[in-house]
A and B are shown apart, each in its own frame.
Chain A
């Protein structure tokens, strides 16, 4: 059981990490907690469903369709909801409540379009099981973990090794100096929202496929836990988000193993409290990176 639960925890942990990275990217650049993120995660899974069910695309085209539309939705959230507030010099708290409001609007629109009941979702990676160290492991979990991990590595390379990533880091560290050195700050913010939304869409799709269903409320608890993971690891830090996601994923499945499933939602937040008492800026967070 231990090995099964460990693998299970790592798989779910990489999903948390993928969602947490979206919180972290936007926070890093705007110093704003983007509460639309959990509904964007849900939207991403629904867009795959729309692609398959209504547009009769094959699954890979449907995922591509979801990436583009959800990413674009992320950009529009910023362009229509947040950029006007920044231009008018509104407070961070106004921007934050706007994201909470937009999140409900997105979820309610999904309810209007698809209803709030459970909808069947195809199992994308049903390749059976294999034995490892006496444990039975589903290929599905391995593939979910691997896909999320590959995306995280790609994102990290993009941010740390390309010049667009360099521009993103510049805006994150000193927006005024970045603008004065010729970086189009608004374009970088849009790109950040696109990347965050697209990775949430993938995460939502993987989870929907794992559960073999989707519903409009599927993002609620995942969103909160991924946010907890981002803070736990040190919000604004990409490796921190990954670490936070994995810690929460693994400790949850260990708790299920030891305590049973009833207490699962408590684990992430208990862990968050404990870590923040010792490291107020998160495990890999720097004091400077959460100022302003």
Chain B
């Protein structure tokens, strides 16, 4: 049973068909990557899943609920959260505050509780703070709790964005080019980090250009071009797919050689 399933989804911008009857699925506990050249429509797909764009045709089902054309709030409550291609942290907030924004939807007090700082308010605040600390410690950001997000090194800012996504209580994490702008050491750390998330039970959908990351981490890969799905399969199947090699992997011969060597 798929956790997330897109059934023939289409998005048009005026005359341009950005995503064309695309179908794919992500099973519980999988790491699935979507790859393809720039402009293939990958980020558009993410924006369709997370409710930023309305979809013109098709349907997206998550956890047996139709989530297409619902508000971003509905979708995050259903259990999907995401990161952005260009990091969008709350830069002038502390690390812990960034994560507490993620816990916001789970808050169970009203305006008057906050105004008069009732017992319920204080309990909820304490719980939320503790939860944020737990999340940060579980992903090795415990030492940075009181730093401003802006002052974190780049790799840790990426990690913090994922922490914020986790804090919403998401089951499915959608990562838009998590390794963008990282040096090899940082992307190696990221790789291990994403694996550790999978081990904790999260299901992960990734867009990524760094082929080293994609080939090493994905259980399955979908390849897109001009808004259409042109291939799907395991990393080794994708790496040996002649169409994909020719059009999209560029220096795929390298990957092939490595693959053959194994």
Task: Give the interface of A toward B (CB within 8 A).
Answer: 158, 162-164, 166-167, 169-170, 173-174, 176-184, 286, 288-289
CB distance from A144 to the nearest CB of B (A): 23
A286 to chain B, nearest CB (A): 8
Q: Which residues of A lie under 8 Å from residue B93 when comparing CB positions?
A: 166, 169-170, 173
Residues on the B chain within 8 Å of A288, using CB: 91-92
Across the interface, do B76 and A181 meet the contact criterion of CB distance under 8 Å? yes
The yes or no answer to B141 lying at the interface (CB within 8 A) is: no
Let me know if A162 and B168 touch, CB within 8 A.
no
Smallest CB–CB gap between B166 and chain A, Å? Answer: 11
**Inter-subunit contact A182/B88 (CB<8 Å):** no
Most chain A CB within a 10 A radius of its CB, from B72, B89, B100, B102: B72
Q: Are B82 and A180 in contact (CB under 8 A)?
A: yes
The answer to whether A183 and B101 touch across the interface, beta carbons within 8 angstroms, is yes
Contact (Cβ within 8 A) A183 B90: no
* Pair A182/B105 contact, Cβ less than 8 Å: yes
**How far is A199 from B165 in the complex, measured between Cα atoms in Å?**
35
B161 CB → nearest A CB, Å: 8
* A174 to chain B: closest residue by CB: B88
Q: Is the CB of B100 within 8 A of A182?
A: no
User: Chain A interface secondary structure, helix, strand, loop or mixed?
Assistant: helix
Is B111 among interface residues, defined by CB-CB distance under 8 A? yes
* Interchain CB contact under 8 A, B101 and A178: yes
Interface residues of B in 87-135 (CB under 8 A from A): 88-93, 97, 100-102, 104-105, 107, 111, 114-115, 125, 128
Is B52 an interface position by the 8 A CB rule? Answer: yes
Q: Which residues of B contact A179 (CB under 8 A)?
A: 52, 72-73
Tell me, rounded to whole Å, the shortest Cβ–Cβ distance linking A25 to chain B.
16
- The yes or no answer to B53 lying at the interface (CB within 8 A) is no
In this complex, what residue of A is CB-closest to B97?
A166
Contact A173 B81 (CB under 8 A): no
25 A–B pairs (Cβ distance < 8 Å), ordered by A: A158-B114, A162-B114, A163-B104, A163-B114, A164-B114, A166-B97, A167-B104, A169-B97, A170-B101, A170-B104, A173-B90, A173-B92, A174-B89, A174-B90, A176-B84, A176-B88, A177-B90, A180-B50, A180-B72, A181-B76, A181-B164, A182-B102, A182-B104, A182-B168, A288-B91
The secondary structure that dominates the B interface is helix
> A102 CA to B221 CA in the complex, in Å?
54
B-side contacts of A178, CB under 8 Å: 90, 101
Give B21-55 as 1s and 0s: 1 = Cβ < 8 Å from A's Cβ atoms.
Answer: 00000000000000000000000000000101000
Is B188 an interface position by the 8 A CB rule? no
Task: Give the contacting residue for B111; candidates A164, A166, A169; CB below 8 A.
Answer: A164
Interchain residue pairs A-B with the least CB separation, the first 9:
A182-B105, A177-B88, A182-B76, A173-B90, A162-B114, A170-B101, A174-B88, A179-B72, A181-B102
Chain A residue numbers with a CB within 8 Å of B88 are 174, 176-177
**Beta-carbon contact of B101 and A166 below 8 Å:** yes
Q: Would you call A177 and B89 a contact (CB within 8 A)?
A: yes
List residues of chain B with CB within 8 A of the CB of A162.
Answer: 114
Residues of A within 8 A of B114 (CB): 158, 162-164
> Is B128 touching A163 in the complex (CB atoms < 8 A)?
yes
Question: Which residue in B81, B107, B111 is a CB contact (below 8 Å) of A181?
Answer: B81
Interface check B137, CB cutoff 8 A: no
Smallest CB separation, B254 vs chain A (Å): 36
Determine the distance from Cα of A88 to Cα of B38 in the docked complex, in whole angstroms.
Answer: 28
A177 touches B84 (CB 8 A): yes
Which B residues are in CB contact (< 8 Å) with A184?
73
Given known contacts A170-B90, A173-B90, A177-B88, what 11 new A-B pairs fall within 8 Å (CB)? A166-B100, A173-B91, A174-B89, A174-B90, A180-B72, A181-B101, A181-B102, A182-B104, A183-B73, A184-B73, A288-B92
When C-beta atoms are compared, the residue in chain B nearest to A170 turns out to be B101
Q: A170-B101, A182-B105 are in contact. Are A163 and B125 (CB under 8 A)?
A: yes
Question: Of B82, B92, B107, B115, which is within 8 A of A163 by CB?
Answer: B107
Q: Tell me the bound Cα distance from A273 to B81 in angstroms.
A: 46
Does B186 sit within 8 A of A, measured CB to CB?
no
Instruction: Return chain A residues, CB-CB under 8 Å to B82.
Output: 180
* B83 vs chain A, min Cβ distance (A): 9
Set of chain A residues within 8 Å of B105, measured between Cβ atoms: 181-183
A286 CA / B150 CA spacing, docked (Å): 14
* Nearest CB on B from A243, distance (A): 18
Distance from B253 Cβ to chain A, minimum over Cβ atoms (Å):
38
Closest to A163 in B: B107
B92 and A183 contact, CB distance less than 8 A:
no
Q: Which residues of A contact B100 (CB under 8 A)?
A: 163, 166
Contacts of B92 in A (CB 8 A): 169, 173, 286, 288-289
A180 touches B81 (CB 8 A): yes
Shortest Cβ distance from residue B193 to the other chain A in the assembled complex, whole angstroms: 20
Determine whether the beta carbon of A180 is less than 8 Å from that of B76. yes
Residues in B with CB closer than 8 Å to A181 are 76, 81, 101-102, 104-105, 164-165, 167-168
Which residues of chain A are within 8 angstroms of B76 by Cβ–Cβ distance? Answer: 180-182
Given the complex, which residues of B lie within 8 Å of A173, measured CB to CB? 90-93
